[in-house]
Amino acid sequence: MEDIRYSIIIGAYETNQLFFKQVLESVRQIAWRNMEIQVMDACPGAGIEAAAKSVCQDDYRLHYHKVHRALSMGSVWNEGIRVSRGDYLIFLGSTDCLHPGMLQYLTRAIKEDPGVDLIYTDHDEIVDGARMNPYFLPGLNLELLRHTNYIGETFAVRRGLFTSLGRFKEKLSFAFAYDFLLRAATSGRRIRHIPTLLWHRRVYDLPLDMAEIRDALKKSMREHTVVAEASLHLQGIPADVKADPSGEYWHVQYDGGDFASHHSDVIILKEDGVKPLSKKIQERLYAYVKQSDVAIAGGRFLQGMGMKIDNCGLICDKDGITYPVCHGQSSFSKGLYQRMVIPQDVTAVDDGYCMIDARFFRRCGGFDRNLTGRDRMLDLCLKARAGGMRVVYVPSAIAFRRHKELLSTQQSHERLLHRWQNTLSKGDPFYNVNLPMGLDNYTLS
């Protein structure tokens, strides 16, 4: 098992010494011989060095380095890349902690997918010394990543990836990790998610200068929006990116204003009894479908008096049964992890009102007439994913459903399972196995 060598890089940059000792304690407890702990100290004074040597004084795996003239944590991590010798490098925030079984989980993932470029995991928070607030993440979700760094700043990278992608951008004070993640995600790299809580992000429990924190949050948000917009423009996708007032994510405003002159390029499905509520709903959906890698875009459906969610896209279990996301939850809520309000890739959308790229539709043979109910749409969405295209949930495209849709027949479902059994058996890549499957989805008990 220990033939894979790991380098755990812990940067100290404007870091609290007490928290840093706790980080080192968590790393020291990892029982793995073929690893190195690279402490990169960019703090003034000798506090970090003293902490490192007191915690790891008898641990041969510790390597301490003083870093001079660091511009940001990104430059500290780059220095860590230079001195490290691991096959995979794990970057750890200077106040975050690792699960003692982290390397066993990583090794298992690498053995299953040799050559995987980047691996990230679920995480939770440490608040007043207690672990809480688990973040159960989806598999790689490009659209979600464009709106927020849902992965975080602790992840493992194959050493060779830095040769092809370059290192962290040192001029970025806050978004250096996010910029690197976007470059990896948009360049077709092999990225894998482990659905286990393997690192713990500290939420500060000491008195802090709130004005200073607010200023840092504004600067961080501004930097992240600039990075997101630059990444889109580099891909030839014009968009404006603006911060959400909550400070939790940002809005990517794609341009769908040319829909009127391209309506023949798409197919719009509308079910009887479904009423679109959003202004310019077709332009909102077309802004996604016009992108070369998007096959289908669908929106958010309300029910009843419009106070409840009918669905925010669909999730799918291993038996090919689809469930409406956030069904019955308040339409005024953002949902767990802002699931209702952030655009993201999904396994399927509701065909009550959606838009399909016409070229994709013709190329894949369209709907299977032998399928009924949700099987028909799920089959089409799985065709899109098999062809390397995306299906996107667009929360700003809102519609209202007056009646329930037709259910699939047993014959239809058996046909769907026969065709997609291998794909479905792997689970929904955009839903976390630690969350409940069924109608009560995106909830924490």
Give domain limits for the chain: 6-206, 211-253, 256-424
Distance in angstroms (rounded) separating the CA atoms of residues 135 and 156: 18
Distance in angstroms (rounded) separating the CA atoms of residues 184 and 199: 21
- Domain 6-206 homologous superfamily, CATH: Spore Coat Polysaccharide Biosynthesis Protein SpsA; Chain A (3.90.550.10)
Closest C-alpha among 339, 343, 322 to residue 331: 339
Position 394 scores a pLDDT of: 98
Crossing angle of helices 17-28/47-55, nearest 10°? 30
**Partners of 123 in the beta sheet?**
135, 199
Q: Residue 232, Cβ neighbours under 10 Å: how many?
A: 20
For strands 6-12 and 88-92, give the pairing. Answer: parallel
Position 368 scores a pLDDT of: 97
Position 209 scores a pLDDT of: 60
Residue 77, C-beta contacts closer than 8 angstroms, at least 6 positions apart: 9, 11, 40, 91, 167, 168, 176
Count Cα neighbours of 427 within 13 Å in the Cβ-side half-sphere. 13
Spans of the chain, pLDDT less than 70: 1-2, 204-210, 403-405
Distance in angstroms (rounded) separating the CA atoms of residues 147 and 251: 6
φ/ψ of 404, rounded to 5, equals -80, 150
Count Cα neighbours of 340 within 13 Å in the Cβ-side half-sphere. 22
For strands 35-41 and 62-66, give the pairing. Answer: parallel
Position 2 scores a pLDDT of: 67
Give tens-digit pLDDT for 67-90: 887 778 899 999 999 999 999 999
Closest C-alpha among 312, 304, 316 to residue 404: 304
CA–CA distances in Å: residue 226 to residues 52, 54, 124, 167, 339: 36, 41, 27, 18, 23
Only one residue has tokens 């009887």, namely 272
Distance in angstroms (rounded) separating the CA atoms of residues 350 and 298: 6
Give tens-digit pLDDT for 140-193: 999 999 999 999 999 999 999 999 999 999 999 999 999 999 999 999 999 999
Evaluate whether 6-206 and 256-424 have a shared fold: yes
Position 7 scores a pLDDT of: 97
Instruction: Give me the CATH topology for the region 256-424.
Output: Spore Coat Polysaccharide Biosynthesis Protein SpsA; Chain A (3.90.550)
Is 76 strand, coil or helix?
helix
Is 344 strand, coil or helix?
strand
